[in-house]
């Protein structure tokens, strides 16, 4: 048995461009997680609350809303489906870009540029031509430029285009582990988003932001549904493909630790309740899918980077 040499490491500039491209492709998810640009994308409220509801509160722009319900396409499907597809395109784009960066070839890098351009073009069409109804009121969604996409995606495409000029650096190790981590991280986005009810009251009754701790728990739940854990997985995958060898495993462990923070918050919150004799609240409150995602990310980061072949 002989061990093949590892793929040639990219220059620091090229590695930074590739990692920066994944960060920029994640921009819309990161920005909306922290409340920036939500009014310009279709899965959040775009209109102000009615006068008979409080004008301020944690639910004023709550979301993201599932525009297509779990029971399938409803009566509003022709209007809601484009926005739902855009939500998934925005969420999965960082994973697609990271996977192509892991591939490392010039062709894959240019494919990532084309994918980013396609999602941006589709987002502009949805925003200006197919805005659909507002998920909170049912009225026509306000037409607004999707600034998170407009700002982030050209930066990502430009960084990848510059990186495509460099020599290829193929690293396809651990792809199954990364894919599994991405699926686990997207679990809340798939199954836990609130359906669009066109009723502001239904989106507000379950929120009680009485303290900083409750506010942190609320933000954590919101971030999970928006897709921040998916971005963490994508950034970890990109870091393992572009970082210097001594930092690759550290990047994976850091990402796994970030995912575990969500789980730790769930554990602390559930154990702080006054009574749960049968552990039912604890079992339902802890986001076990993020624990699985953390394990898979750590496993992928520690996956052997050297392949062996028979001499």
Strand (E) positions, the chain? 2-3, 65-66, 194-195, 308-309
Higher pLDDT, 197 or 236: 236
Contacts of 109 (CB under 8 A, 6+ apart): 18, 100, 101, 160, 161, 163, 164
Average pLDDT over residues 44-57: 56
For position 201, what pLDDT does the model report? 45
Length of the chain: 311
pLDDT at 66: 86
Residue 99 clears pLDDT 60, i.e. is over it: yes
Q: What do you get for the CA distance between the two ends of the chain, in Å?
A: 5
DSSP structural state of residue 38: G
* Phi and psi at residue 65, to the nearest 5°: -95, 145
Structure tokens at 133: 């109804």
* 140 beta partners: 133
Reading phi first (left if > 0) and then psi (alpha if -120 to 50, else beta), residue 133 is in beta
pLDDT at residue 53 is higher than 50:
no
State the average pLDDT over residues 6-28. Answer: 83
Cβ 42 vs Cβ 140: under 8 Å = no
Give the HSE-up count for residue 191: Cα atoms under 13 Å, Cβ half-sphere.
7
- Mean pLDDT value across the chain: 79
State pTM to two decimals: 0.85
Sign of CA dihedral 128, 134, 140, 142: negative
pLDDT, tens digit, for every residue of 264-274?
A: 988 887 776 65
Stretch 60-80: mean pLDDT: 65
pLDDT category at 122 given cuts 50, 70, 90 is very high
């Amino acid at each position: 048995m002989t061990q093949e040499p590892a793929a040639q490491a990219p220059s620091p500039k090229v590695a930074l461009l590739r990692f920066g491209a994944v960060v920029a492709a994640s921009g819309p998810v990161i920005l909306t997680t922290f409340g920036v640009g939500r009014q310009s994308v279709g899965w959040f409220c775009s209109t102000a609350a009615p006068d008979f509801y409080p004008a301020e509160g944690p639910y004023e722009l709550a979301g993201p809303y599932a525009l297509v319900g779990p029971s399938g396409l409803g009566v509003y499907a022709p209007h809601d489906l484009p926005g739902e597809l855009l939500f998934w395109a925005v969420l999965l784009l960082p994973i697609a870009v990271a996977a192509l960066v892991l591939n490392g070839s010039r062709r894959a890098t240019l494919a990532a540029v084309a994918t980013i351009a396609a999602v941006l073009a589709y987002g502009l069409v949805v925003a200006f031509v197919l805005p659909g109804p507002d998920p909170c009121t049912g009225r026509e969604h306000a037409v607004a430029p999707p600034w998170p996409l407009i700002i982030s995606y050209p930066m990502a495409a430009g960084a990848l285009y510059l990186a495509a000029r460099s020599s290829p650096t193929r690293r396809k190790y651990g792809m199954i582990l990364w894919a599994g981590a991405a699926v686990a991280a997207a679990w809340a986005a798939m199954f836990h988003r609130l359906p669009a009810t066109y009723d502001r009251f239904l989106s507000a009754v379950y929120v009680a932001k009485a303290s900083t701790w409750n506010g942190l728990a609320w933000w954590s739940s919101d971030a999970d549904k928006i897709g921040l854990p998916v971005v963490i997985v994508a950034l970890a995958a990109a870091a393992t493909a572009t970082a210097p060898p001594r930092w690759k495993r550290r990047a994976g462990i850091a990402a796994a630790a970030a995912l575990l923070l969500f789980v730790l918050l769930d554990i602390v919150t559930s154990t702080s309740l006054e009574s749960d004799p049968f552990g039912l609240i604890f079992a339902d409150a802890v986001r076990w899918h993020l624990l699985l995602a953390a394990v898979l990310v750590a496993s992928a980061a520690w996956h052997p980077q050297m392949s062996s072949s028979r001499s």
